[in-house]
Amino acid sequence: MTIKRRGSAVWSGGLKDGKGGLTTESGALSNYTYGFSARFEGQKGSNPEELIGAAHAGCFTMALSMILGEAGLTAEKMETSAEVALEKVDDGFAITSIHLALTGKVPGATKEQFEELAGKAKAGCPVSKVLDTKITLDVTFEA
């Protein structure tokens, strides 16, 4: 089985004075503004790094839900944030790391078990597998 999803971008103008729009197949984004100032100067708009972060957080959390289910557990609630680091390197810019921060409440699980299963999800989620960068994880277990 192969699932294909699509996202697209439109760009007009130069790097610093140009602007673009991001669109997703689902309609979650429809020509959503992105540009140099949003990416590098903290202005309003989106950027590829935050989209990668959201995708990674979502994929990881869904993968963990599956792994918990295989262990006979169901999360009451899990929240994951992903901090994507974009840094200047010798030949331009690179995403040098992603830090996942997970908080979860899983009835019937121990802190150790939750941490172990979260580590498996970090390694096994499809977005983690496609990213060629250092991925770290902090886990907070709510009893």
Q: How does the average pLDDT of the chain come out, rounded?
A: 95
The domain segmentation of the chain, as residue ranges, is 7-41, 48-141
Q: Span 48-71, mean pLDDT?
A: 97
Domain 48-141 has CATH 3.30.300.20: yes
Alpha-carbon span 34 to 43, nearest angstrom: 10
What are the pLDDT digits (tens) for 86-115?
Answer: 999 999 999 999 999 999 999 999 999 999
Token pair listed for 14: 């130069």
Nearest to 73 by CA among 122, 106, 105: 106
What are the pLDDT digits (tens) for 119-128?
Answer: 999 999 999 9
Token pair listed for 91: 């030949």
Confirm whether pTM is higher than 0.75. Answer: yes
23 contacts 7 by C-beta, under 8 angstroms: yes
Instruction: Give the other-Cβ count within 10 Å of 109's Cβ.
Output: 21
